Structure 1
Amino acid sequence: MTLTDSLVDFFLETRIHTENICKPLEIEDYVVQPIIDVSPPKWHLGHTTWFFEEFILKPHFKGYIIFDEDFSFVFNSYYETVGKRVVRSDRGNLSRPSVESVYSYRTHVTEAVKNLFTTTQTQELYDLLEIGIHHEKQHQELLLTDIKFILGNNPLLPVYSNSFTEHSVKTESQEWISMDEGIYEIGHNSNAFCYDNELGRHKVYLHPFKISSNLITNQEYIEFIEAGGYKKFDLWHAEGWDWVNQNQISAPLYWHSIDGVWHNYTLNGLQKVTPEAPVTHISYFEAFAFAQWKGCRLATEFEWEAAQTNFSWGQRWEWTESAYLPYPFYKKADGALGEYNGKFMVNQKVLRGGSVATPIRHTRPSYRNFFQTSLRWQYTGLRLAK
């Protein structure tokens, strides 16, 4: 098997996995968009397909027949270079094209990509296919968390799947891991795939610090709530305090107090909160306030990366204290793919690690996720530092 054959297999495996995520859905679920940050499942299915059509098939497959001329307008996300697109908040208004048509579109593009790679194999195509695969994997994570938000805001709180596990409870005691001061190298350092925002490996100086071995649990977070954490302005940034009061925030997303007992919506339906499980669906504002309450702080992304070999990670995206900025020597790619990361490097915080929604073969110690400080529909948690 050649390297290209292996990558095509990876591509096909990825395409199947996206559709498997949607299998538990009812047809009515495919078009719902409760908030601007959440895209309908049908749109994810189409957008990940458009990516391959736009960046691989159109420019590189001579004689390729475009499935539908309107789909570039419908399924482009934010690529100004490519052309006009549906406004993000209007994705939920796309009752057409039908779900059946979108699945036909997926089949059309998948088969065309397979056919292209049987006759044409260049490094440029290899690189485009690889980034397309990982782009779809990013959307698999978003698709799953968007589905959770859609169902979690349905008054019936329906079950998505009884087989999806949102957390595994660990019983190891919380410990402080001591890290020496010194010079540490940060950034991607192998020939394996990474995004451009991980490149520009560089050295940073870190003062001595300690980082917690475990994520903060639901029980620890309940203690914060019961201690009046959401009512103590001195724990919060001014912007975070405004956010709490304007939105009447009093607990993590999906939490409901029923007869004095905390429950949370999960993909298995409404469940009692598991005390030992890591807390999730909290904003950066909440993570910061909790750390303040504990007399601690959040780790920087550089501290996290330097220390990550000393603890297990991957259950929750972990908020850091670092602004999302380019590394030294960062160079934005030319053309449309240059819009992938660089233009978002403002007004966001970095998250590290991955989560239970992150697909396999898609995270690594240098992976940099990023979101605005108020967002919490992803599986976001926190680890303390001091």
Structure 2
Amino acid sequence: MDAATPTATAAGDLPWGEVWGQDDAVRRLRAAAADPAALTHAWLITGPPGSGRSTLARAFAAALIAEPGDDNAARQVLAGTHPDYTALRTEGVIISIKDARALVERSYFAPSLGRYRVIVMEDADRMAERTSNVLLKALEEPPERTVWVLCAPSEADLLPTIRSRVRTLRLRDPEVADVARLIALRTGVDPQLAEQSARHAQRHIGMAQRLATDAAARARRDDMLQAVLRVRGVSTAVEAAAEIVAGATDDAKALTAERDEAERAQLLSTLGIAPGAAVPPAVRAQLKALEDDQKRRATRSLRDGIDRVLTDLQSLYRDVLMLQFGRGDDLINLELATTLHAVAEAWSPQRTLTVLDDIAETRERMEQNVSPVLALESMLITVAHGRIL
């Protein structure tokens, strides 16, 4: 089977048709769904961003809930509308204790229509320790017909107490050529653009698809890299940091503005308020709650966007390091080869490693709610001077 075709038999093979390139994982989960004796009550699906963790989790949930051959129930699960399926993907920076407790409470309900009740937590790595402890009891004493499916980049992103109570399923990291073929198949873009997008996205399928179909996203990525390559001192580091935050903000707005407006319009319509009419005081609290949720989502979207820029910067200086060690055959940023060769010749490998280490530390600091501008300024000063000041 070609690696860029959907896993299983075909795209119409419910519920596995949308799972791509994860044959071994699908075989294991098919077997578990078909044999109660082989089924574990809690699973952890790990893999790099864009590897399809959430897609696989939904397909597994559909296979567990729906009776064999019941395509209607499977479609309900895949659409997120089946009463025995609950999924949580936090819209904030972290998963709140309130949301975790709501999931735990729901997990104790017996399935109403399906074979099992399935709880999917798509961002399990975004739990603070005290939130993880809320989940722990449900994993220690699970109801008989409830299955938990957690998703995270790696096992290390969860507490040892959580890891010890789940069965881990690690997804494979797809090749650039495989992702490029999939993107070309899905979007119809030129194969050369699909290959560039897959390479720049570092095999992240969702990001590769966005780069392939959104010229503005491609331009923003290029602008961010060029801004960093122009850094020579403190003043240019400050300018570049501001440019990165502004670009990430624009990117976040592009992703959330349309959704925010649609949510607001839907809420007002549900409340019987005509477009353009004044909002009565009695319903302002509901509108305020929606706006607060949207602000939290915007904060996460901004931080995710900055993290994406930092990931791109890691790819940039990874390329420099590859060139310094005589490896120019596997560059991520091939279009910048001339500039990267110049940096590789001007810098020592130790300086490149120092910059890479500081970028990694900056990504960690961003997870701790450090000011994005200050974190980026500090990191870019390291880029300018070749040492952490």
> TM-score normalised by the shorter chain: which range applies?
under 0.3
In terms of fraction of residues, the more helix-rich structure is 2
TM-score scaled by length of structure 2: 0.27
Q: What TM-score results when the alignment is normalised by the length of structure 1? A: 0.27
Kindly indicate which of the two structures has a greater share of residues assigned to strand: 1
